[in-house]
Amino acid sequence: MSDVPVTRKIALTGGLDFWNTHPVPEADLPKIQVSDGPHGLRKQDTEGASDHVGLGGSAPATCFPPAVGLASTWNRELVGKVGAALGDEAKALGVGVLLGPGMNIKRDPRCGRNFEYFSEDPHVAGELATAFIKGVQGQGVGTSPKHFAANNQETDRLRRDSQVDERPLRDIYLDAFRKVVTQAQPWTIMCSYNKLNGTQVSNHHWLLTEVLKDEWGFEGLVVSDWGAVIDRVAALKAGLDLEMPANPAQEAAVVAALEAGEIDEATIDGAYERVARIVRKAAATLADARDSFDVEGHHALGRRAAEQAIVLLANDGLLPLAKDADVVVIGEFARTPRYQGAGSSRVNPTRVDNTLDRINELAGHEVPFAPGFTTQPKQELPENAHAEAVELAKGAGTVLMFLGLGESHESEGYDRDDIDLPAEQLALLEDVLAINENVVVVLSNGSSVALPFRDRVRAIVEGWLLGQAGGPALADVLYGEVNPSGKLTETIPERLEDVPSYFNFPGDVTGVRYGEGLFVGYRGYDKAHHEVAYPFGHGLSYTTFEYADVAATASGNDVSVSVTVTNTGEREGREVVQVYVSKPTSGVVRVPRELKAFEAVTLAPGASETLTLEIPADELAYWEVRDQAYVVEGGEYVVEVGSSSRDLRGSATVSIDGNVGFRPLTMHSTMGEALAVPEFADKMESLMGAFGGGDDDELGADMMKMMADFPIRGLVGFTGQDGSAIQAMLDEVNAVRGGGAA
């Protein structure tokens, strides 16, 4: 490294252009290309192309289901295979680092980029992102989990201050990132545009260095989101390693700062070495990589992923359809699928299959079809399209209505104003329902939508965004060629007003306050006892499953849960078993229950299997602000096992020791806290008379309830005791108990 001029080192901390790093001939470092593509490669065709928002062309690549669909599989192995396929395509297209996965928490369904994110729950997001990263990096290609951190909206995303309390920040918004860093070591992490509690993330030393690198042991490089760096000198000092894209003015500013002594060469060396290490790894992979990939094989993999991503929300028995069913199809989405989101993740697919063609194939004839409405703002449609669709529905045995959100409704760069389906689609549905009650709604959308009609249709199929092969997968589910097994990773609310973040989203020029704290998604709906349209984890099947013999045992602070699942229906099916944990009695704020483990099982009719799901201690830990550490609270926990967060089939209790140490008592501790320590309670017995009678005296008992939150320092005035004597008592108790928190 000593042979590399410092100006070359500084150059490597910024891009050569929009997609490439600088070459460093003195160190035999070539340039490497990075590419958007959480669900498919978006490699720009032209050298130095700078189309960040997905409007221009890119090399053909497989468009797999975006995270909104992929997450609904709850299938780590399948997600890993998709990651491996993406890694293979990256090598074939000469890409060294894939800019993904997107793993921000779905705090609010209005976020325009929710289609790129896994879940409202950090456990699901962390588990699936870890599988994805291992799949990609197993091919020798880097990943870049994004957007780190608290980037949960698109409104004013380049400036807005995300104001998050410390515990929700740790337990909700950073937790999935912590999991992927400690379990998968991604090559890079992408920092977000926004501010976090008043500090620009690209300049956030606590986040980028103290937490990410020092505490979690991140070994890779921190890259900026494109255009996120305001001051590269400050960013390098904070822990950023690579600014993208190219910015000659920032590079010159670093040179000037070095000459002025405002930044030291050791800081530059550290960033240079981290970037150089990734360049070497990528270059080694690309040196002998093939220039092609299995186009058909990857398309087939995308179809398998889409099949498991589809969620059957409701079904009164109409589905699956018989091949000879009298069916008509309404809705442009059946013919022209919406299979991915808009913005920087837009993929140029190798092909796109639609649902209508597969329905015709399964039915053995051309099924009557009417588009009914447009899915694109400039798409032309006959004036009588609405009336034609309604006429088609008259007398039909079953109406398959394909509804959803077009690309203009949700995209990177802006948020939705509501969670409604387009008015023209809802009006068409109402007119169809007025003349035919046998309606199945099939949805295409990147985030939850309100379903005010859910009690008036025969079935609802949530198709999310399913990638280029998702069209036939939808038809296969409708006709029973595939038994649906997808489960929601986000709650579908009854009303927008019920969303926990409703009053705080998207904030204003002063920032966005994460006022719901820990109560994000299903945690908040459960706490408020809100009815929901469909709960987190929900998804039906064409068979049924029975749960039995739920048991939980503890070993140290680890918990092992077992449950026997039986397929009680008439066809093979796949069930995702979910484990939720709660602690009814706690010294800190707790949510009603939270997901801590999940596993899928595929069973033939009548077959049973006993599953064992492990919950390691760190899954039970919470961030203790007073101790500045993750701790496990001791005591009794309730473990509930079921098919969704509100379909819990069995429970067990388990006691664990915890690892919360004794917190020294001070004059500011409350009487309640002090009397919970036996040694202190014994010494205080002689002073209890000052507060009334004993515990068996009603007045005394009530007085002690009132005094539970009274600081010990108040004893000086209330009892006439000398303050130094009480402090001596506290010192003695603290010494006996060992002093200090764990």
Q: Is 134 exposed, middle or buried (0-12, 13-18, 19+ CB in 10 A)?
A: buried
Task: Look up 225 and say whether it is catalytic.
Answer: yes
Do 203 and 195 meet the contact criterion of CB atoms below 8 Å apart? Answer: no
Asked whether the bond before 365 is cis by omega within 30 degrees of 0, the reply is no
Q: Which of 577, 574, 576 is nearest to 602 (CA)?
A: 574
Task: Tell me what percent of the chain is helix, strand and coil, each rounded to the nearest 5.
Answer: 35, 20, 45
Q: Are 71 and 484 in contact (CB under 8 A)?
A: no
Tell which residue, 345, 301, 353, has the closest CA to residue 43.
345
The widest CA-to-CA distance across the chain, in whole angstroms, is 95
Strand partners, 548: 564
Paired tokens of 283: 């270059």
Among 182, 174, 170, 98, which residue's Cα sits nearest to residue 140? 98
- Phi, psi for residue 416 in degrees, rounded to 5: -80, 150
What does 162-219 look like in DSSP terms, one character per residue?
EE--HHHIIIIITHHHHHHHHHH--SEEEEPSSEETTEEGGG-HIIIIIIIIIIS---
The catalytic residue among 225, 241, 353, 415 is 225
Determine contact, residues 135/82, Cβ cutoff 8 Å. yes
Residues near 562 by beta carbon (within 8 Å), at least 6 away in sequence: 549, 550, 551, 552, 610, 611, 612, 613
Contact call for residues 12 and 32 (beta carbons, < 8 A): no
Residue 472, preceding peptide bond in cis (omega within 30° of 0): no
Rounded-to-integer distance, Cα 400 and Cα 327, Å? 7
What does residue 629 show for φ and ψ, rounded to 5 degrees? -160, 160
Catalytic residues: 225
